[in-house]
Amino acid sequence: MRIATTIFLTDETITPVRLAHQLEQRGFAGLYLPEHTHIPVSRETLYPAGGELPPEYGRTLDPFVALGQAAAVTERLTLGTGITLIAQHDPIDLAKQIATLDHLSGGRFTLGLGFGWNVEEAADHGVDWRTRRELGRDRMALMRALWSDEPTAYEGEFGSVRASYAHPKPFQRPRGPVVGPRTLIGGAAGPKLFAHIAEYADGWLPIGGRGLTESVPKLRTAWESAGRDPKDLQVVPYAVLPGAGKLAHYADLGIEEVVLQLPPAGEAEVLRTLDAYAEYL
């Protein structure tokens, strides 16, 4: 099983360069970074985990800039977002960022995408909360057009692009309906999410990894009903606090990668956590 990590990198934590060096040297498989552009002070949206929202949410580094630094100082470490808030991006700009990072890293990028939880943050980006999932689906389709080998136009419900020259192309080649880098969709289990995964992604990025015994078979059914090859489905539990029994259970479900949570802390504390996680490598 590949053991990757995630962390809220901020202006107060270990730096992307130091963390990337340490992860690769120690044999960890990858680094995934979350995204929040800003956190409105006045909001009605409750923190999904309960209690007060931790301060690191309002201090996160831009994941693409940070992952670019990580890519430049590593050779094998995979790089991902967990997650890109796709509805909050201009898709033409985002397509360029993603393709550039995947190209420069030699195909090491994973696009973990999701639809968010903070209504006020999304609203400042002009996002109608009720249609954010369809907006994200539409933006993925537009980006696939830009990533296609030949100039391809796209006309969607929420956006369009003319047939265009758009380089670089993502390093990773098309596979089935997926064009672009490895793509995993985050979110709670449900028919709509599973339909989106089967339509335009490589798999699922479930936060915490709970309930997979019941959920994974339902996802596999949706996947196969869409005509996807069963062996291609990827399920990557995300932001997991590890235990030997938990990882063994994931392995029994056919899971090949898990993303462990690191503390949003300075270098000394993060390295101590990596030392503790070494037993799972």
Cβ count within 10 A of residue 62: 14
Give the whole-angstrom CA distance, residue 252 versus residue 117: 31
Alpha helical stretches, state H, 105-238 = 119-124, 132-147, 191-200, 212-225
pLDDT tens per residue, the chain (281 residues)? 999 999 999 999 999 999 999 999 999 999 999 999 999 999 999 999 999 999 999 999 999 999 999 999 999 999 999 999 999 999 999 999 999 999 999 999 999 999 999 999 999 999 999 999 999 999 999 999 999 999 999 999 999 999 999 999 999 999 999 999 999 999 999 999 999 999 999 999 999 888 999 999 999 999 999 999 999 999 999 999 998 899 999 999 999 999 999 999 999 999 999 999 999 99
CA 243 from chain center: how many Å? Answer: 23
Sign of CA dihedral 2, 274, 34, 114: positive
